[in-house]
Structure 1
Amino acid sequence: MPRFPVSLLLRCLATAMISGYSRPLYILPFDHRGSFEKGLFGWHDPLSPDQTARIADAKRVIYEGLLAALASAHNPDGVPVTRAGLLVDEQFGADILRDAQARQLITACPAEKSGQDEFDFEYGDAFAQHIEAVNPTFCKVLVRYNPDADEVLNARQREKLARLSAYLKGSGRLFMFELLVPAEAAQLQAAGGDAKRYDAEQRPALMVRAIQQLQDAATEPDVWKVEGVDTARDAARIVEAAQRGGREGVGVIILGRGEDDAHVREWLRTAASVPGFIGFAVGRTTFWEALKSWLAGTISREEAVQEIAGHYREWVQDFEAARPA
């Protein structure tokens, strides 16, 4: 009987378990942890119970903004529940996840440690128990992966991600992969030290290579959550990579990366014009300033809720207006 390399067998097994998610998906992500603790509140671990409760309440304001944006008898022009989703962490958002599930919203919960340059599980080897307890629609990971980065580092990440992917596919759970491709020093130098030039000239091709490397290492997301690109041609190449080799059902969504409104709108319109991009996940641009103003006491809680709802509805309208007829 012929013998096959273990790596080839793993790739074949992963490919056999490809499913994908191709329905419209409009996510409001607020799974930020370190940036909330330090950037929004100026706190550091370990948090007191009161500090934890205050962060959880701030996230509740964001959630109330999402609920206010949904279609209802009082808001017929809102976003359909079947397309609306949220991404929030278990630490500060377990109650939100339970409430959202009861309302039949799409939910996503992160599995990664916050703010790490190298992917690792938030709950170590107990990651599966936590996913099962929270039971989100999607398990999400944020991974910083540059195909030209240190290969030992990249290999460690690929091994952990393949383990997670196999568990999720084996348990019938959906997998959302947030891919960030930070510049290596030599790449940034080649761009004259200009991060925007790196984004335009190098990052799109690196994103394609990263997706391909991760797929070849048995990581099979149902949805790729990616940084925006400036041209439809680059967006199409990303979709082509995400859907190669029998992965036609895999969807791609665009993230906001904390950019200003104008830049987010450009990314949304570019992505929406390309088949395969099914939606977005825009977080800080949606809620950050509203939360800051509410915490400073310059606007009321309800004003913050409505501001967040308005931004979210605008992203949906922009994306849907740019989709091919």
Structure 2
Amino acid sequence: MAHCHLTPPVPSDQSLVELPAITHPPIIRTAVANVILPSRDLDAYLAYELDTTRLACLHKYLWLAGLPVPARPLHRQRLMNRTIVVTERADEHLVWHEHRFFVKPMPAFLLCHSFWEKHLCSDRSLHASACGMLLSYAWLVAYPSDFAIATKEGLLPPGFSWQQWTTFASSFLHTLDLSTLSGIAPRYQYGELRLSRLDMLTRWPFLLPSHLWSPRRLVDGYMSSSTWYTAFFERHFGWLVVGFVYVSVVLSALQVGLATSALGGNQHFQDFGLGITLAGLAALFLALASMLAVWVVLFWYHLLSTIAFDRRAHLQRRKAREKKESVGL
């Protein structure tokens, strides 16, 4: 990762948060179930806090999930009947699904000039991700109504007014190249991204690098939600209910037709009805068999992966304990 010294987009005289007021979480659980202590490893925490690597790897396919246009402001999200849901992962920021819109709260350190100088301007990748996060909030908080929503939902740090925000946003927008978006993380060349399309892209093993793809991606998709099998089958096999409704309507119509004197003795109509009936029964059998097969595969996958993860975690802890004991001796 290249190191350099870049210019903070935050003017020195317009910081909305001062350095002593910035507080980091005591512990962070990462996506791979490891932990980061910001007090011990601030660089690792910042890299994880602003990480959009998964979307950068899918960048040339993101046109399938969204448009390369700014995200709509928060008041428009409300107008579209979307509920704002807080996420603390940057790669889930501005992702939407049905009536949910995921937003990462603005990290307070992005509003501090001194913090940029000290921690964010020495790494080009980190600087680009941080600039992208600031740009995304310029999209989201464009009107006083947006500012009120962001404040109420806890998306912005407290302590400044709408007037201060507009002055601050205008200043950092002038430092960005909005025509080419150069110096901004590739993810933020797109605004809102559709979760169902990201799930589809993530499940294809040849789209993600080998170190980012795993069988769990095939099961969970881009964002893992409920771990209940009932929710999984409702989400992925709900279309079967609609299909069975249409088949039931067709079979009922055929039954009525066969009861009439005009169609009851028609051999072609009887053959057609027989074909539809057999096809419906075959479809029902295949649907139930596929659901059973998926359930069996998921059950054994979760069981074996849980056993493997449990053993790996205990092994790592034992090695760490033995290392500490050997150092102590």
TM-score per shorter chain, which class?
under 0.3
Greater Rg over alpha carbons, structure: 2
Q: Please give the TM-score of this superposition, normalised by the length of structure 2.
A: 0.23
Q: Which has the higher strand share?
A: 1
Q: Please give the TM-score of this superposition, normalised by the length of structure 1.
A: 0.23
Q: Which has the higher helix share?
A: 2
